[in-house]
Amino acid sequence: MANKISDKDQKQMAVPATRAGRFMRMAKMAGGVTGGMLAEGTRQLAAGKRPKVRDMLLTPGNAKRVADQLSAMRGAAMKVGQILSMESDQFLPKELADILAQLRSNAHSMPAKQLEQALVEAYGEDWQYEFYHFNGVPIAAASIGQVHRVTTVDGADIVLKIQFPGIDKSIDSDVDNIAALLGATGLLPESIDLQPLLEDAKQQLHDEADYLKEAKYLQSFAKALADDQRFTVPQYHKQFSTRKILAMDYVEGEAIEEVAKLDQQERNRVMTCLIELALRELFELRLIQSDPNFANYLYNSSNKKIVLLDFGASRKLKANFVNHYRQLAAAAIEGDGEKILSAAEKLGYQLNEASDDYQQLVLKLFLIALEPLREDIEYDFSNTDLANRLAELSNDVGDFKEFWQAPPTDILYLHRKIGGMFLMASKLNAQVNVYRLIKPWL
């Protein structure tokens, strides 16, 4: 038995587990931003310029200070940064958006002392005797927790997803305080009302922090895909799981990006499988795994199966929402602008009172975003400027501040999933006939 936890060779950063500790992190961020403003103002005065508040705030140094502190706090604080960078980067200053994007792949783990504490709380002082071998170096780390490979006394090869201390209790205050702080420092433009999105994010984060709830989603997907030989879903191990530790099979696999090195046929097959699964999640299961992070997918080259990981961000959808989105997709294929706007209104977009110009802008955004499914062709994701066209058009939304709103949350998470699939298809240089995949569902 080799279960001694060591700090050796780990990229670590202690997670502030108390409310006071997390408040100090935010105070440090605010102080750093203020100091950065003074320094930038002094520099501009010395250069004979009259500094503007916005210019002093939106420096790369200040943006990095914000990202560093969100990263150190992990949990909800880091998730707020991820939300802002992934969902609203077209509305944020480029300096902030670029730095916040780094939060998507942060890989700091917690020190041995905090890890030991988490294991003792879950299994007791003699936790070592629960396992034949515990690898103290995590194989993955993210915003909510980290993953360790373990061998049980029965010889099972499993992983433990272990939650960072204090994360579950800090969600509401972290989301409120970080959003308020970003607004107060001017790093978040006043014209953006993200409150509905942030309130929904709180609930989503509470769900993600409940690993027993994630276990139910894990089992739901395992059951739904039990007869589908294209996918592998890890088996859940109830006896080692708690609300803050999730145990499941260790599954072999390479990073999904490795598929890009394979031949065109296999690249196309893998992405066809994933997009087909996303459509089944939407239209049949009404349960989507809404986080399309590449790290949540592996590829097993020996059996050519796709391994699905991390179901914490799974999201249930109501039947009427799915039906309205079905109408939207059908209208997009028809190219019927009136039907698209009508379906969008039913989905929660407030367009009836908006100007014709704003409605036309929203219409164009939908038509571009859903472009891959609109024609009966092998859409070449390796040779498209779709993302650039979307970003360019999104810049025009700022001209309609009186009408702009945070997208309805279910739409936001669904488009995050669809956009993630399209981004992965681009990364893998795949060609997929999305039209034929979606047509049977319409």
Name the pLDDT band for 52 (thresholds 50, 70, 90). very low
**What is the rounded CA–CA span in Å between residue 393 and residue 396?**
6
Mean pLDDT of all residues in 428-436? 96
Q: Name the percent of the chain lying above pLDDT 70.
A: 67
The partner residues of 254 in beta bridges, in order of sequence, read 299
Q: Which helix or strand (DSSP H or E) is residue 255 part of?
A: strand 254-255
- pLDDT exceeds 70 at position 105: no
Q: Which helix or strand (DSSP H or E) is residue 201 part of?
A: helix 195-208
Name the pLDDT band for 186 (thresholds 50, 70, 90). low
DSSP assignment letter at 143: S
Q: Which of 345, 365, 361 is nearest to 353 (CA)?
A: 345
pLDDT of residue 215: 97
291 is an active site residue: yes
The 3-state DSSP class for residue 64 equals helix
Q: Tokens in use for 181? A: 């702080």
- pLDDT exceeds 70 at position 302: yes
pLDDT of residue 39: 44
pLDDT of residue 409: 78
pLDDT of residue 56: 40
Name the pLDDT band for 112 (thresholds 50, 70, 90). confident
Alpha helices in 6-107 (DSSP H): 19-46, 53-57, 60-73, 75-87, 94-100
Return the sign of the alpha-carbon dihedral for residues 227, 229, 234, 237. Answer: positive
Question: What is the rounded average pLDDT for all residues in the chain?
Answer: 78
pLDDT of residue 36: 43
Enumerate residues 6+ apart whose C-beta is below 8 A from 59: 36, 40, 95
Range picked from 21-25, 151-155, 312-316 for highest mean pLDDT: 151-155
Q: Judge contact between 298 and 256, C-beta under 8 A.
A: yes
User: Is the overall model pTM greater than 0.85, yes or no?
Assistant: no
Range in 71-75, 127-131, 342-346 the model is least confident about: 71-75
pLDDT of residue 171: 79
The domain ranges of the chain are 19-105+168-194, 253-442
Q: Tokens in use for 102? A: 């780094």
Mean pLDDT of all residues in 102-118? 72
A 10 A CB-CB count for 410 gives: 21
Q: Judge contact between 159 and 250, C-beta under 8 A.
A: yes
**What is the rounded CA–CA span in Å between residue 153 and residue 133?**
8
- Greater model confidence, 172 or 367: 367
pLDDT of residue 41: 40
The 3-state DSSP class for residue 342 equals helix
In tens, the pLDDT along 142-157 reads 767 889 999 999 999 9
- pLDDT exceeds 70 at position 297: yes
A 10 A CB-CB count for 262 gives: 17
**What is the rounded CA–CA span in Å between residue 79 and residue 67?**
11
- pLDDT exceeds 80 at position 108: no
pLDDT of residue 206: 87
In tens, the pLDDT along 251-290 reads 999 999 999 999 999 999 999 999 999 999 999 999 999 8
Mean pLDDT of all residues in 195-203? 76
In tens, the pLDDT along 369-412 reads 899 999 999 999 999 888 778 777 766 655 555 445 566 778 87
- Greater model confidence, 4 or 421: 421
Looking only at Cα atoms, what is the longest distance across the chain? 73
- Greater model confidence, 8 or 320: 320
Q: Which of 111, 96, 90, 100 is nearest to 70 (CA)?
A: 100
The partner residues of 299 in beta bridges, in order of sequence, read 254, 306
The active-site residue out of 174, 200, 291, 310 is 291
**CA torsion angle 86 92 94 95 (round to 10):** -100
Enumerate residues 6+ apart whose C-beta is below 8 A from 235: 222, 248, 249
Helix 337-347 to helix 356-369 angle (10° resolution) is 90
Helix 167-184 to helix 60-73 angle (10° resolution) is 170
